[in-house]
Structure 1
């Protein structure tokens, strides 16, 4: 098939509605529909409350306040819980203070023993120093006698 035939076929297809009465017709009428709905509601306005309750009611709402000792009971329970917590805390503080007191007493006893040991060590060191000084002084006399004896022997050997 040639390009010319394809082009001619498409070109002619564009004008086809003219050959077959290509006029269009439409209806321009408008239709409106209205629907009415009636809503009917019923409301239960009964108020239910216990003895000693206070109720307020209006259209669409209601408020009921009932105490019957519930607030007092809740406060009593929270007070009891708080008292137990305080008692437990006091017991813990007392236990910690007892442990710290015992620890302090043990530390004081260890400190006293350490001071006694240091005192004993100082006394023994002083005694040892005193003995060493005495030995050095005693040895000096021996050294002097030895030097004199060596000197005399050297002198005797020199005059022979």
Structure 2
């Protein structure tokens, strides 16, 4: 990890690969009354299929040279963009209380962000985010070639979420 942290001193970290948990929408269940026939329920894509499409979109967005892999340099650029999208304050911190009020931040993502707050001060520093994201990269990069393939991302997310292979 030290080797990667040294390589990112000029680069940084993002939360793009941080993925929110997928749940079915209860509003899509069939409803009927005595005077109307039952409506067929909308078909839901399986969680694994939805996760696959979401990961493909995330990896494609981070894969700047479109070679099918996210290199360490591309990951660093994605980290910086993600950090800035969180809106750090003038002192360079992102306050967790403010993030919880943003509609685009899901509960799962907020939990992962809170876990990155290693000193427990209720705010994220750039360093805390970089360390959390690099831990993700290193765990997912099983062949340790400093590139994340879609297959590595999928395998890691399945393992992390305890989904069937």
Q: Give yes or no for TM over 0.5.
A: no
Where is the helix percentage greater, Structure 1 or Structure 2?
1
TM-score, scaled to structure 2: 0.15
